[in-house]
Chains A and B, each alone.
Chain A
Amino acid sequence: MGNNNDRALVRRVLKGEVQLFAKIVERYERPVYNLMYRYCRSEQDAADLSQDVFLRIYDRLASFNGDKKFFPWVYALAINIANDWYRSNSLKRQKMAELQWQIPDVGAGSEQERILIDQEVAGDLYRALDELSDVSREMVVLRYRYELNFSEIADIFQASEGAVKMKISRGLAKMKTILGGDIHE
């Protein structure tokens, strides 16, 4: 996600080339949608919340500080909306989070990704990520999936770099424990 490109896009949208906002949506809809899905576990809710996020981004575009990276700014806005949703839906989310169904989730991802990481691993990984707190889970995803550095993650969560490092390291340790063990048959 090229940062210079992002800055130029933002500048042009702010100067009136509003149609270029579609490029921003195109670039960030996937991470934003996935973030929302991790919070709400419903495709419909995730789509609605993603729409809210981009409306907010559009609304606040002028407040984006061009000296910083665009993606962490987007993510911070998205996290705020996800937290708002969580506060009003936490009961619904907790109640049925563990229920197991007989149909596997619809698979996603490119063909290369499928080759790289089979569905079983991905499923286990998602379930282990689910066991982390929302903040730790998102920090782990940002660090590894989106390759943000510690200071950028710290900015998003308004935490110190040390706290981010600690949460990520504890999160990984917990995931390793969760993913441990063999089938007992």
Chain B
Amino acid sequence: MNKQLKNQSQLEYVLRHLPDKSPAADLQKNIISSLPEYKDPWIKRMRQFFGPWPTIYRAAGAIACLVLAFYGGMQVDRFVPGNITVSGESAAVQNNMNDKAYYYLGRSLLAAGRAEDALNAFRSAELLSPNVLQYGLWKGAAYRTVGATDKERQTYQQLIIRRPESLSPRINLANNLLQAGQPREAEQIYKLILDREPAEKTALYNRALSLRMQAKTLAETEAWKKYLDYYRAGPSAYRALQHLHELGDYSFRIYQLGRRAVIINQKRLLSPQDAGINREINYLVQQFKNRSLSELSIVVFIEDDVQQAKNIADSLRMAIGDQTAGREQTSIHISWFDEPEPLETLGKRRVYLSKGVLIFSTLKNNSKKEERI
């Protein structure tokens, strides 16, 4: 978790200073130029119009206006012209600029909502320095912003030919295909990327998305697990976990250790023979060291097998104890049940796990306060 967001007051502080996105420079001008001439509300205008007339004329006038308004409403489409587009200012691109100047100009034009002009700037930057990857990637982004997805795709394809070693254009090409409704083709590209770079974060995440779009639930489940094997921090990890739970897989869970929510692979913790158990326990220990926990409680649930539940709880206590030896003492309490574990999912559903491990902690400075999920 980001160090600046550790508690509620810090979270509130950064929310108060949340940076805004700047609207396009010409938004205000466009709004003002599109305003119609201001008129009082129609009822007020009617009142003013009929005010000095005798009552009978007023009533007759009102009825005539209603009839005309109805007829006028029926005919309005025939007379009102279509949308008039406001042409933007021409791009302030100078001929004597170097590639970096064009690049920064493009970035600022894109930020200002002038994607067409930004596109010209990125094109110029790329013409001057065809080997700079960033220029091409931003050109692709500008094409995406203006909705030219075919040209965006061609941009990435050209970048791949020019810079075959770079993964970014491949990822963006796969994303483009996914957006165009070609998840199978996209997935193949993500897979190639992961063959070369197994921990590539964006490809790991988007591959799972592409599998979801193909309704390949088993492969999707494995893909989310793979993502969580590498990345357990931040909103993307949280969302990956949510997807996994939606698919009915609870091998990963979120635990509250002190003030920190931590994602742990409980399946590994429950399998003492699993080769990854030491890594998992090491990760668990890293999460609560230096966090002033006075107690760590571990509850193991194995349906209809109390002995196995006890054995696992014992071995977890021992393994955690081994890894925390010599450090500030956190006492570890274990308990076990031969029943399924009731679990509330992130989607607030209640499920029962035939095998489960519940971990919760007590803070040192407030031993009565127990925090758990």
Contact = CB atoms under 8 A, between A and B. Distances in A.
A175 B5 CA distance: 10
Interface stretch (A72-80, A125-133, A159-167): A125-133
A18 to B, nearest CB: 5
A153 B237 CA distance: 31
A29 B27 contact: yes
Contacts of B261: 176-178, 180-181
Interface string B1-44: 11011001001101111111111100110111011111011001
A50 B16 contact: no
Contacts of B111: 106-108
Contacts of B201: 100
B232 A96 contact: no
B287 to A, nearest CB: 6
Contacts of B313: none
A113 B236 contact: no
B336 interface: no
B234 A102 contact: no
A16 B40 CA distance: 9
B233 interface: yes
A102 B11 contact: no
Nearest to A58: B35
B338 interface: no
A9 to B, nearest CB: 13
Contacts of B44: 62
Nearest to A131: B235
A114 B19 CA distance: 8
B235 to A, nearest CB: 4
Contact of B21 (A25, A33, A44, A176): A33
Interface string B245-286: 000000000100000111100000000000000000001001
B27 A47 contact: yes
B113 interface: yes
A179 B171 CA distance: 26
A155 interface: no
Given A108-B21, A179-B235, A184 B230 contact: yes
Best-surrounded residue of A99, A116, A185 (most CB of chain B within 10 A): A99
Interface string B147-178: 00000000000000000000110011001001
B262 A182 contact: yes
Given A108-B19, A125-B5, A51 B234 contact: no
A58 B31 CA distance: 10
B284 to A, nearest CB: 10
Contacts of A140: 15
Interface string A48-67: 00110011001001110000
A30 interface: yes
Contacts of A124: 2, 5, 234-235
Contacts of A148: none
A37 interface: yes
Contacts of A30: 20, 22-23
A178 B28 contact: no
On chain A, which size bracket covers the interface?
35 or more
Interface string A100-139: 1111001111100110110011101111101100000000
Contacts of A120: 2
B339 interface: no
Contacts of B141: 101, 103
Contacts of B31: 25, 29, 50-51, 54-55
Given A130-B235, A181-B1, A172 B28 contact: no
Interface in B280-338: 283, 286-287
B11 A101 contact: no
A181 B16 CA distance: 23
Given A102-B172, A172-B11, A181-B260, A145 B38 contact: no
B345 interface: no
B223 interface: no
Nearest to A96: B179
A127 B230 CA distance: 19
Contact of B22 (A42, A108, A147): A108
A109 B23 CA distance: 11
Given A122-B19, A144-B16, A145-B16, A55 B234 contact: no
Contacts of B260: 180-182
Q: Which 10 A-B pairs have the closest CB atoms?
A: A109-B19, A180-B261, A127-B235, A144-B15, A33-B23, A102-B168, A184-B232, A106-B111, A113-B19, A108-B21
5 contacts: A50-B27, A98-B209, A131-B238, A144-B12, A183-B231
Interface of A: 13-14, 16, 18, 21-22, 25-26, 29-31, 33-34, 37, 42-44, 46-47, 50-51, 54-55, 58, 61-63, 96, 98-103, 106-110, 113-114, 116-117, 120-122, 124-128, 130-131, 140-141, 144-145, 147, 172, 175-185
Given A124-B235, A125-B14, 5 more contacts: A50-B23, A58-B36, A99-B178, A179-B2, A181-B260
